[in-house]
Structure 1
Amino acid sequence: MKIASLHDIQPRTCTSPGGKFALERTDLSAALGATPDTPPEKGGHPFAVERASIPPGKQNWPLHSHAAQWEFYLIESGTGVLVTAEGETPLAEGSIVMCEPGEAHALRNTDPAQPLVYLVIANNSLADLIHYPRSGKWMVKPARLCFRENIDYYEDEE
């Protein structure tokens, strides 16, 4: 059994080059010995747990969906919206959200002064394919390889 304190874990800040997306991430699973973004077969835990904080006016990630990963969110403090392909749903302290594979989602902080703080729990599948519907981009995890080109299956194989 491993025990850690949230207060001893160094958060990691992620910010997009243009500043639209920003997030402070505290990887609770890594503090308990898991290798980040890694399934149990490779040294990770069956699920990843992270505490995240989105600064005022920012969004955590571009709108995206997972082929294999489920994500559960518990809003600890602040106000924001769940962004989906269908629109936006308000979120506040105590809101809980379950994003199933195939459902495009993102979180945006709508509070002009306070961060949107939430807990995220996600299953760690052996691999995942993430789709970004607005840009047509794809990403493969755990390799974190991004691509956009659509080619024929047999191209360069014969």
Structure 2
Amino acid sequence: MTTKKDAPAKPTLFRAADQAKVKVESQSHPLNPNSQVRGVSLSEQVGLQRLGIHLLRIAPGKESFIFHSHHSEEEFLYVLSGRGIAEIGDEQFEVGPGDFMGFPTPSVGHHLRNPFEEELVYISGGERREVEVADFPRVGKRLVRFGMQASIFDVTSAHSLSFGEE
């Protein structure tokens, strides 16, 4: 028998009809002036804590965040409608409905942009680890996040340390 203490804090079902009641959030990446993503955190609606799953939209002419790679959090993207350009490593691919991208760690650099006339709608998901390190190789920056506190560093001015055997 499930006790109140064991019961989930949020409902485990989030119906499509309920989406209209949830505030749509807008985010952009501080290192990319063309970044603008709108959407809803589906995982928040059902109380998931270790996974982040989001229903996202990129308007025509806008981009997801910035070309980046992850050191500890895996990520995936699944396109529902519209078209976009996925930058994966040194290659670019046109993507559309039904296309799925997965980025195991350490991940190859990736980014999504919408140069087309219609809105790009996709599901983005991944792990929510306490600590994450992500690189932004095209701008020479590194993000280090502990919980909800993040710092961005200039990789070119960082000092390397070695903790190997003497």
CA distance in 2: counterparts of 1:49 and 1:16, whole angstroms: 18
Structure 2: which 5+ runs fail to align?
1-7
Q: Partner letter of residue 120 of structure 2?
A: L
Alignment correspondent of 1:150:
158
Q: Secondary structure at the match of 1:144?
A: strand
Q: Secondary structure at the match of 2:20?
A: helix
Alignment correspondent of 1:24:
38
Output one character per residue of 1:122-143: Cα deviation in whole Å (capped at 9) or x when no partner.
Answer: 0122211000000110111232
1:3-22 equivalences under 5 Å are: 3-4=13-14, 5-15=18-28, 19-22=33-36
Shift of 1:32: 2.1
CA distance in 1: counterparts of 2:93 and 2:153, whole angstroms: 30
Q: Partner letter of residue 133 of structure 2?
A: L
Structure 1: which 5+ runs fail to align?
35-44
Alignment correspondent of 1:140:
144
**TM-score, with structure 1 as normaliser:** 0.81
Q: Partner letter of residue 21 of structure 1?
A: S
Q: Which residue, 131, 134, 149 being the options, matches 1:130?
A: 134
Shift of 1:65: 0.3
Alignment correspondent of 1:72:
76
- The verdict on how the C-alpha distance between 1:152 and 1:65 changes in structure 2, with shifts beyond 3 A counting, is closer
Query: What is the number of equivalent residue pairs in this alignment?
Result: 143
1:110 paired to 2:123 = no
1:54 paired to 2:58 = yes
Alignment correspondent of 1:42:
none
CA distance in 2: counterparts of 1:134 and 1:26, whole angstroms: 28
Structure whose alpha-carbon radius of gyration is higher? 2
Deviation beyond 6 Å, 4+ runs, structure 1: none
**TM-score, with structure 2 as normaliser:** 0.77
Give the root-mean-square deviation of aligned CA atoms. Answer: 2.0
- The verdict on how the C-alpha distance between 1:93 and 1:103 changes in structure 2, with shifts beyond 3 A counting, is same
- The verdict on how the C-alpha distance between 1:16 and 1:128 changes in structure 2, with shifts beyond 3 A counting, is closer
Q: Give the % identical residues.
A: 21
CA distance in 2: counterparts of 1:105 and 1:151, whole angstroms: 26
